[in-house]
Structure 1
Amino acid sequence: MDIYRHRPLALLAPTLLLAAAACSPAGHGTTVAVPTPDAKTAPVCRNLDRVLPRKVDGLTRHDPEPRSVYTAGWGPAIILRCGIVRPPKMVDPKVALGQDPDAMGGGVNGVDWLMEKESDGSWRFTTSERRAYVQVTLPKKLSGPDDSAQVLMDLAPAVKKAVPEGLASMRH
């Protein structure tokens, strides 16, 4: 059972989104692992790619290599991957109970996110309660809560339009 799905997510104010930290830069020759979504998820991700904004947080879209409808990038380092496998923390009881200091759930403009702090201090955001897992990683320079919130606010309309609410594939 996916207990994360059954726990209501409190909407977090942008100031509680925490800092997004370092990740590899996107675009301009940077390589990003391309997800391999299943047959039900792939069309959802292709639809998302069609409606993604040209700009996120004022940065122009520059997709990473290899080019794929399952990945997108903005500026030098904002990365989006659609059709990833379910993150282990998505079903961790400690996260659901708010007892994991490195992960929490929250919502921005009608899209729920799992926010995870990585061992290197970086952060990644993964949609929850959607029919595809969409993951966003941000660069260290977007470390302020207003910056990370703006990225998620800019992506929310596309996610809501292209990725229906529901359960994503349970593969992991």
Structure 2
Amino acid sequence: MFLGPSVAALLLAAAGCSSTDAAVSITVPTPSPEAAGYCRALHKELPRTVAGLDLGDAGPKSELTAEWGDGEIVLRCGVPRPAKMDDPMAKGIDANGVNWLLEQPDDAGPRFTTTYRKAYVEVTLSEAYAHDASPLAAFGPAVRKTVPGL
């Protein structure tokens, strides 16, 4: 899989405004037992704040999910491998030592999924972050520590 130029630059190049009130719904993944073990370890290491937002307690109580703010940033661990990873033209970013695949849904903010890891970790940002991938850096240390590379 090719990881292209910096997503931050790519996102900053995009024009347009974004809404700040779009919260994402959280669906708990159903990973393999091995991936669930990595996810439980990751959950214990997650940062208490990301981009100035506090770790929330809304949504389902699960060691496979977490949110910051009122759903502005949502993490799900143990998600299925995105089909977009098969696309050699897929865009990606390295943020604090972790590679992430970028997907840009039409009706939501950007979604990033780790690559080259034994469990897939997905971070969805609200539309308020449509032009800002910097929150990903906060997850690097925890992912590197708990979810082994391939």
What TM-score comes out, normalization by structure 2 length? 0.85
Q: Where does residue 91 of structure 1 map in the other structure? A: 86
Cα distance in structure 2, aligned partners of 1:65 and 1:120: 21
Alignment of structure 1 residues 2-13 onto 2, 5 Å: 4=1, 7=2, 9-10=3-4, 12=6
Unaligned ranges ≥5, structure 1:
167-172
Secondary structure of residue in 2 paired with 1:41:
helix
Secondary structure of residue in 1 paired with 2:127:
coil
Q: Where does residue 131 of structure 2 map in the other structure? A: 144
Q: Which runs of 4+ in 1 moved over 4 A?
A: 21-24
CA contact (8 A) 1:111 1:156 kept: yes
Identity of paired residues, percent?
Answer: 44
1:158 aligns with 2:142: yes
Amino acid at match of 2:141: P
- Structure 1 pair 105/63, CA: closer, same or farther in 2 (3 Å)? same
Q: Where does residue 14 of structure 1 map in the other structure? A: 8
Secondary structure of residue in 2 paired with 1:63:
coil
CA contact (8 A) 2:110 2:129 kept: no
Amino acid at match of 2:23: P
Unaligned ranges ≥5, structure 2:
none
Aligned length: 144
What TM-score comes out, normalization by structure 1 length? 0.75
- Which of residues 56, 61, 65 in structure 2 aligns to 1:67? 61
1:33 aligns with 2:20: no
Deviation, 1:39, is: 1.1
RMSD after superposition: 2.2
Deviation, 1:17, is: 4.7
